[in-house]
Amino acid sequence: MTKKPEEKTKQLLNIGKDQMDLLERLCNATAVSGDEQEVRQIVLDEITPIADQVKVDAMGNVLATKLGHGENRVRVMLAAHMDEIGLMIVKKLEDNLFEFVRVGGIDERQLPGKAVLVGRDHLPGVIGAKPIHMTTAQELKNKIDASDLRIDLGLEIGEKVKPGDRATFATRFEVLGPSIKAKALDNRFGVAILIALLKNAPENIDLLAAFTVQEEVGLRGARVAAYAFDPDMAIAVDSTPTNDLPPWDDEDENVQYNTRLDAGPAIYVMDRMTIADRRLVNLLCAAAEEAGIPYQLRQPGGGGTDAGVIHRTRSGIPSTSVSVPARYAHTAASIARMSDWENTLRLLHAALSKITPDLLANERRD
């Protein structure tokens, strides 16, 4: 039986087995900044059959176009970064111990004792930690310095590792009831959402999907992607840290929650690098309210997304960001809710479907 178009849309916007399998493959892949090939290949396999044009640019961004129908279509860029924070091997020492540096923002205290996967062969290793038996009371209080730590690969397989190889945390994707535990949910959520939107693109717009590289080291891929696409407007799709744990240690209420799990997609009004275009924020809020999708306005403050460079490209591009909230970002394992992921996908589809040339026709006098 062939499905009616509405049924097909509903199916693609619900997180089913196919979507979960895709997210699992994306999270378990290694794509530390500058070496995004594993995620790029998954993206290309998924979108090449359905996009009108797909290209990989000189930096490694995947730029995919899905054209709509009708006159005066708005050219909407969506950007999701493929890369994740991680480590880079810089030097081999005796006994197949390896010096490394951090790539992107990682707290050094997170590193000792973690299992890692090294290089494109995902060779298992560990960031050695001093056993508690040999640690002095003073050492327990000392700051941990990444330059004092080593990755230990055991004697056999270290031969295959070279300086420049990347390493990630060895966390495997798992479903925990309504939640997901994985590494790199920042930003495999965004990548999975962009793939789903390309497969189910609203026809009123031209969808310009940029799967970007090197976001975690300074939004480098998005800069050239936005220049190449030259869009009318842009939305960065990402994952944002929550700070939503209940108060303890005699604190009063947690008022610095930034975003919270279970509260829906986080719409940005301002972060460290971007003040969102008000027309786009209004569009997203109205779409959520009309469709009955829960949403939250992300508390302004730190952080940033690819929108930080996109909005300053060429003569300026109206931009904002929408993120899936996740706990414990940039650590070995994050926790997020499936419902927030699904609602972010639904919200973006609803908002894109509402875009008309009028949205951007007026000069900024808001």
Question: Which residues are annotated as catalytic?
Answer: 215
Q: Which of 186, 271, 277, 340 binds Zn ion (CB under 5 A)?
A: 186
DSSP 355: -
Query: Which residues lie across from 168 on neighbouring strands?
Result: 117
Nearest to Zn ion of 186, 271 (CB atom): 186
- Is 187 near Zn ion (CB under 5 A)? yes
What phi and psi values does residue 240 have, to the nearest 5 degrees? -120, 145
Judge contact between 207 and 94, C-beta under 8 A. Answer: no
| Residue type at position 265 | P
Instruction: Look at the alpha carbons of 177, 183, 185, 186 in this order and tell me if their dihedral is positive or negative.
Output: positive
Binding mask 235-274 for Zn ion (x = CB under 5 A): ---x------------------------------------
DSSP 145: -
Shortest distance, position 47 Cβ to Zn ion, whole Å: 20
DSSP helix/strand/coil, 350: helix
Shortest distance, position 165 Cβ to Zn ion, whole Å: 23
Interatomic CA distance for residues 347 and 285, integer angstroms: 9
Helices in the chain by DSSP H: which ranges?
5-13, 17-28, 37-47, 137-141, 154-157, 185-199, 220-229, 278-291, 307-310, 338-353, 358-361
Nearest to Zn ion of 32, 151 (CB atom): 32
Judge contact between 234 and 283, C-beta under 8 A. Answer: no
Candidates 51-59, 185-193, 336-344, 346-354: pick the segment binding Zn ion (CB under 5 A).
185-193
Shortest distance, position 239 Cβ to Zn ion, whole Å: 6
Shortest distance, position 121 Cβ to Zn ion, whole Å: 26
Judge contact between 186 and 84, C-beta under 8 A. Answer: yes
Candidates 20-28, 122-130, 181-189, 199-207: pick the segment binding Zn ion (CB under 5 A).
181-189
* HSE (side-chain half, CA atoms, 13 Å) at 334: 28
Candidates 46-54, 69-77, 154-162, 230-238: pick the segment binding Zn ion (CB under 5 A).
230-238
Residue 363 Rama label (left phi>0; alpha psi -120 to 50; beta):
beta
Shortest distance, position 292 Cβ to Zn ion, whole Å: 28
Interatomic CA distance for residues 42 and 345, integer angstroms: 19
Instruction: Look at the alpha carbons of 79, 80, 84, 85 in this order and tell me if their dihedral is positive or negative.
Output: positive
Nearest to Zn ion of 46, 186 (CB atom): 186
Q: 10 Å Cβ neighbour count for 282?
A: 13
Nearest to Zn ion of 82, 161 (CB atom): 82
Judge contact between 216 and 300, C-beta under 8 A. Answer: no
Shortest distance, position 241 Cβ to Zn ion, whole Å: 9
How many residues line the site for Zn ion (CB under 5 A)?
3
Q: How far is CA 118 from CA 41, 101, 171, 340, in A?
A: 19, 13, 13, 31
Shortest distance, position 326 Cβ to Zn ion, whole Å: 10
Shortest distance, position 308 Cβ to Zn ion, whole Å: 11
Residues that bind Zn ion (CB under 5 A): 186-187, 238
